[in-house]
Amino acid sequence: MGASKSTLLPLEEEQSICSETGFTSKQLRRLYIRFQELGKRNPTCGYLTREELLDIREVSLNPLGQRLVDVIIEDYGEANKINFKQFATVLAQFRRGKSITDLNTKEKKLLFLFSIYDRNHDSKIDRHELLGILKMMVGGNIHDEQIATIADHTIEELDSDGDLTITFEEFCKTLAKIDVDEKMSMKFLN
């Protein structure tokens, strides 16, 4: 679609994405511009790759950046790429607004958080996965034992059925007090 100069999405696609994600067409256009900006390496195809996402300086510096990009690419994209529609779907989960679609519910957000932990998709966070996240987040050269202690403690806190893994229900229950909806939302520019 006019690869050299395409700054605009096809109208019908735009509309379908809008209705699906709840973005206004203005927001979506802005997002599309951003999407193309990110895809500098390969401007012609409508895809973003892992590397392109990691090119963003802040993302690569962020302790969870790598993992997040993994989640986005693997869970929402296909074949290590993500197209604009999928991209918009990811972001739509964090859209804050009056209109609630089935994308930006609290549960979706919790699931997204959960999927950051749960990389083997067995809908359980086991000790190993938690350790991985903790290492990324705590950073520094902290002794493995300490990290293990923290991980064990965390699991014990959340784990209510004693199987030493955290299921999604257990995960949600302990986060009931945190205003996930509020924290996991952002304003998209118009």
Partner 1 sequence: MHQNKSLVILILLLGLLIHKYYCKEQTYIHNQGKPLRFHVAEFNFDHVSDVYAITLWILLGSLAKVGFHLSYRLTEKFPESCLLIMLGLIVGGLLYITHLAEQKAYVLNSDTFFLFLLPPIILEAGYFMPNRPFFDNLGTILLLAIVNTLFNTVCIGLTIYGFARTPIFGNTPFDMLSCFVFAALISAVDPVAVLATFTEIHVNDMLYIVVFGESLLNDAVSVVLYRMFDSFAKIGQENLILMDYVLGALSFFVVSLGGVLIGIIFGVVACFTTKFTEHTPVLEPLIILVYAYLAYLTSEMVSVSGILAITFCGMVMKQYVSFNISKKSDATTEYVLKMLSSIMETIIFMFMGLSTVSDHHSWNTGFVLITILSCLVFRVIGIAIFANLANCWRLLELTRIDMLIMSYGGLRGAIAFSLALILDETKIPRKKEFVTATIAVVFFTVFVQGITIGPLVKCLNVRRKQIEEPTMSAKLTNRMMDHVMTCLEEISGSGGSNSLRDKCRNLDRNYFKRWLLRETPQEKMDIKLLQTFKKINMQSAMKVHDTSKGLVPTPSSAAFPTSASATNLRPSSTFANFSQLLAANLPEQTVPDLMFFESQGPDHYRDDAQMHHFLDTNLYRAKPRAAIHLRSQDETAETNNESQNRFEKSYHHRNHIFIPSRHDKEQTHGRKTGKTGSGATRSSGSKSASSTQPFNDSQATKHSLMSAITKKQNLKVPPTFTNSHKQQQQSSKPRSRSPPLSSDQPIKSLPTTNDTHPVIPPVSIVIENEEDVKTMGGVTAAEHSFPWRRSSIPDGEQAALSIPAGDSANNAQTFSNRNDPSLHPGPLTSANFSGAYNKSPEYMGEFATTTKPEEHLSRPHIRDLFNNQLRPSDETQENSAEAAANEGVTRL
Q: With respect to partner 1, which residue has the nearer C-beta, 3 or 61?
A: 61
Q: Interface with partner 1 includes 8 (CB under 8 A)? A: no
Contacting residue, 13, 20, 24, 65, with partner 1 by CB under 8 A: 65
Q: Interface with partner 1 includes 107 (CB under 8 A)? A: no
Sites for partner 1 among residues 70-99 (CB under 8 A): 72, 90-91, 94, 96
Q: Could you identify the residue written with the tokens 């995960």?
A: 171
Rg over alpha carbons for the chain, rounded to the nearest Å, is 19
Backbone angles phi, psi at 167, to 5 degrees: -90, 170
Cα separation, 89 vs 104, in Å, equals 10
CB of 163 to partner 1, least distance (A): 8
Q: With respect to partner 1, which residue has the nearer C-beta, 12 or 167?
A: 167
Give the residue from 157, 128, 156, 155 showing the smallest Cα distance to 144.
Answer: 128
Give the residue from 18, 177, 149 showing the smallest Cα distance to 89.
Answer: 18
Q: With respect to partner 1, which residue has the nearer C-beta, 12 or 67?
A: 67
Token pair in block for residue 152: 């064990």
Contact 84, 7 (CB under 8 A): no
DSSP-derived pairing of the beta strands 166-167 and 81-83:
unpaired
Size of site (CB under 8 A) for partner 1: 59
| Contact residues for partner 1, defined by CB under 8 A | 30-31, 33-34, 37-38, 53, 56, 58-59, 61-65, 68, 72, 90-91, 94, 96, 112-113, 116, 133-134, 137-143, 145-146, 148-150, 152-154, 156-158, 162, 164, 174-175, 177-178, 180, 182-189
